[in-house]
Amino acid sequence: MTLEYATLTVDGLYPDSPGRETQDAYLVATRFAGDPDLHLFAVFDGHGACGAACSGFARDALPRLLLLAAEDDAAGGGGSLLATDPAGAFRAAMVGVNEEMHAAPAVDDSMSGTTAVAALVAGGALHVANVGDSRAVAGVWRDGRVAAEELSWDQTPFRADERARVKACGARVMSVEQVEGVRDPDAEGWLADEGDPPRVWARDGLYPGTAFTRSLGDLAAEGVGVIADPEVKTVEITPAHLFFVVASDGVFEFLSSQEVVDMVAMHQDPRDACAAIAAESYKLWLEHENRTDDITIIIVHIRDAQNVGVQTFDYLGIMP
């Protein structure tokens, strides 16, 4: 199986902060841990005053802790945790990143943090771990068309299960309009494309106000249920799997997973697909707001998936 991949980061446009540093980061680690069958792709979307430091910290720490989790299990005679329990390895690594970030003197994550979505190609399987609202999606040939197959689930208060979980931890879930008294504070009829989204608030204060329910960092939000435990999905790579995308919510804010998959399917070269998606995302941001978010995309084309086990890489990266 040959994987061809491209990456692209576009800095957000913030007219009120012209020198603002991008808060997105990404990771590509081919032949991860020296294994020719392991390849890691990840995107991190920082937020808060120290968001860039948080996303950069997570980018550097995740592969190290993922490798450590695998080595520790192998040393105990259980074989590589990445092979025997990839979900467990991802959970141990992401929780470890969170704990290290809290303890890092150079990173103030009290009110800052990062999302993280990571895709690990392991032979003929694809394991995806996610905290937050960045996203991974595959393009799968199905019924005569390329269909979107969700590889992760956005963890936001729009989800009834996540909303119930943070409320059980003492959180209030309201939009800014509800907090300000403009809307009924008990109403739950939020619409994804209308007004401010539902956010997580402490019972006794106007913080943290996160529009997600899981993240790395965000120490002040942990007390109201914003956790670092990822959701992990595993899929078998079949000949019908044509490509997958790992991207920040700067892409998915105004584009659906299917729309992104349709755009990738229009281009043979993943570099061209990255550029087209970034341009469309940027345009849509400016049509809806006077700014744009940072936009980061990794597109991985899967060639000759019938021959799982033999993998070579042609780097087609577009570096920021």
Q: Which part of the chain is CATH 3.60.40.10? A: 2-154+226-316
- Going by the DSSP 8-state scheme, the letter that residue 168 receives in this structure is H
- Which DSSP string do the residues of 62-81 spell out, in sequence order? HHHHHHHHHHHHHHTTS--H
pTM of the model: 0.92
AA identity, residue 295: I
- The beta-strand segments (E) located in the chain are 2-10, 24-29, 38-47, 113-114, 116-122, 125-131, 135-142, 145-150, 172-174, 199-201, 208-210, 216-217, 231-236, 241-247, 295-303, 312-315
Please list, residue by residue across 48-72, b when 16 or more beta carbons sit within 10 angstroms of its beta carbon and e when fewer do.
Answer: bebbbbbbbbbbebbbebbbebbee
- Any bridge partners for residue 131, and if so which? 116
pLDDT by position in tens, the chain (length 320): 899 999 999 999 999 998 899 999 999 999 998 889 999 999 999 999 999 999 999 999 999 999 987 776 555 555 567 778 899 999 999 999 999 999 999 999 999 999 999 999 998 999 999 999 999 999 999 999 999 999 999 999 999 999 999 999 999 999 999 999 999 988 998 988 778 999 999 999 999 999 999 999 999 999 999 999 999 999 999 999 999 999 999 999 999 999 999 999 999 999 999 999 999 999 999 999 999 999 999 999 998 755 333 333 333 433 22
The answer to whether the CB of 66 falls within 8 A of the CB of 89 is: yes
At the topology level, CATH places domain 2-154+226-316 in Phosphatase 2c; domain 1 (3.60.40)
Establish how many alpha carbons lie within 13 A of residue 294's alpha carbon, considering only the half-sphere containing its beta carbon. Answer: 25
DSSP category for residue 230: P
- Please tell me the predicted confidence (pLDDT) of residue 172: 96
